[in-house]
Structure 1
Amino acid sequence: MIPADLSAEVISQWVGQHLWPLFRIASFFMVIPFIGTQLVPARIRLGLALLTTILIVPMLPPVPQVEALSGDAVIITLQQILIGVGMGFALTALFQLFVVAGQMIAMQMGLGFASMNDPAHGVNVTILSQIYSITITLLYLSMNGHLVAIEVFLESFRTIPIGMEGLGQEGVWQLAHRISWMFVSAVLLALPAVTAVFIVNISFGVMTRAAPQMNIFALGFPIGLIFGLFSIWVLHANFLPHFEQYTRETFQFMRQLQGQP
């Protein structure tokens, strides 16, 4: 016999009140760069998601009364996963734009062959992209960006409460268009160094036409590489302002996904 206070409706309410926030939080932690990487074991990510869920459940509004094995419960679960993955993807795009910018600069200056394995994602990237990735990770953690990201994400439980409605069609389109923002920002970040190295290559082309006997392959590659490294060193002074601007735009975009102005 099941006691009256432990009926199926009460059990379903308890499960929904804890399980649906867990799906959203766990999806977010599995995607974000500084936690959702191969360097952090899945057990630690799941433990952080469980701990965060236990802490915020008492502050959440009541969840809808839906049977645990109904079709509506499946839709709500998928909506929570989509919200968590979408907001985590917005944060991932911030880190990946610097990786793409590093690859653009490295390919232009002749460092495309110098690649190494990225332990966080398990893929090969150029040395410059790895340097940029480490730099922005340290800057992000030193500025407590991870705490701000988690705070902005937890606001979604207030702006997008647990229910049948999630990001909606407009939110999905905004996430799709975020890919173009990532590539445009990467091009703008890499444009000064790429343009400087391109001008050097044009000057070597003019020199080759003026003196055909010059061995452009033996002379142009090391000079172009040295000039590219000098350009990176000069442009590194403006690295922090660009990082702050793109981080601010990312947090504004995460709030726009939640319907905040």
Structure 2
Amino acid sequence: MGAEASADMIGQWVGQHLWPLFRIASFMMVIPFVGAGLVPARIRLGLALLMTVLVVPMIGPVPTVDALTGDAVVITLQQIMIGVGLGFVLTALFQLFVIAGQMIAMQMGLGFASMVDPANGVNVPTLSQVYTITVTLLFLAMNGHLVAFEVFIESFRTIPIGTTGLGQNAYWDLANHISWMFVSAMLLALPAITAVLIVYIAFGVMTRAAPQLNIFALGFPIGLLFGLFAIWVLHADFLPHFDQYSRETFDFMRSLQGLP
């Protein structure tokens, strides 16, 4: 009887604490401002443990499943997929501005000015780094991290812990969300790209009118200056675009959970 009681207690403990920890830890490892390479894994795991302790009392009853059965493995994988899926939506919001910065930098001639992104460990243009820092500060200043955690914690009510996860349609929506990221980046970078394109078209006309003009010596610095001017002008509309994309991101996170 004692062994059976202890086995039941272990199964209840696994269902009540370990499965929420898998979902929360997966989410914390993916989101940009916590899951970045700058934050040590110990800190991320500590935050996930702390959040689990705070969230467990608010979670409803969980299924009592033996920890060494196939159902327990399925439930664990479902929790990981839910955390990674919701975290990917938030990551796409930040990568959107990185892609926009790469598009603008390549067109204006700043593509060679790259540096190692300490968060992701890859080389990105300096303009993308500027956008990343700006977006991160705006997101934290507008309490976007609190909204993200609120929407994520709500998933324990909309998607209870069990063998059912996000569903097949949700995974297709996540795959299609990548196209939203590229389209939004293009819309954000399109004004600057168009301005630089007009400058290069003007240089093309000048080259045809005066072939002796050294267009390679004049075109690059002037195109770079016009690109920087376009970026400065576009910064006035940076906050409205960020607000719109943030709303669309949080709405998409809620739609994955089946919420209106």
Give the unaligned 5+ runs of structure 2.
none
Cα distance in 2 for residues equivalent to 1:78 and 1:85: 11
Please give the TM-score of this superposition, normalised by the length of structure 1. Answer: 0.98
Measured against aligned partners, the alpha-carbon deviations of 1:4-55 in whole angstroms (never above 9, x if no partner) come to: 7x43122201121100000000000000000001110000000000011011
Cα distance in 1 for residues equivalent to 2:235 and 2:258: 35
Q: SS at the partner of 1:116?
A: strand
Aligned match of 1:2:
2
Amino acid at match of 1:237: A
Aligned match of 2:51:
52
Cα distance in 1 for residues equivalent to 2:259 and 2:122: 36
CA RMSD of aligned residues (A): 1.0
Q: CA deviation at 1:3?
A: 7.0
Q: Is 2:111 the counterpart of 1:112? A: yes
Give the unaligned 5+ runs of structure 1.
none
Percent identity reads: 78
Q: CA deviation at 1:66?
A: 1.2
Amino acid at match of 1:109: M
Aligned match of 2:150:
151
Please give the TM-score of this superposition, normalised by the length of structure 2. Answer: 0.98
Q: SS at the partner of 1:68?
A: coil
Aligned match of 1:251:
250
Amino acid at match of 1:198: L
Cα distance in 2 for residues equivalent to 1:144 and 1:37: 18
- Number of positions where the alignment pairs a residue of Structure 1 with one of Structure 2: 260
Aligned match of 2:189:
190
Q: SS at the partner of 1:239?
A: helix
Residues 172-251 of structure 1 mapped to structure 2, 5 A cutoff: 172-251=171-250
Amino acid at match of 1:78: L
Q: Is 2:130 the counterpart of 1:142? A: no
Aligned match of 2:39:
40
Cα distance in 2 for residues equivalent to 1:132 and 1:193: 14
| Poorly superposed stretches of 4+, deviation over 4 Å | none
Cα distance in 2 for residues equivalent to 1:116 and 1:96: 16
Cα distance in 2 for residues equivalent to 1:56 and 1:93: 26
Aligned match of 2:93:
94
Cα distance in 2 for residues equivalent to 1:56 and 1:91: 21
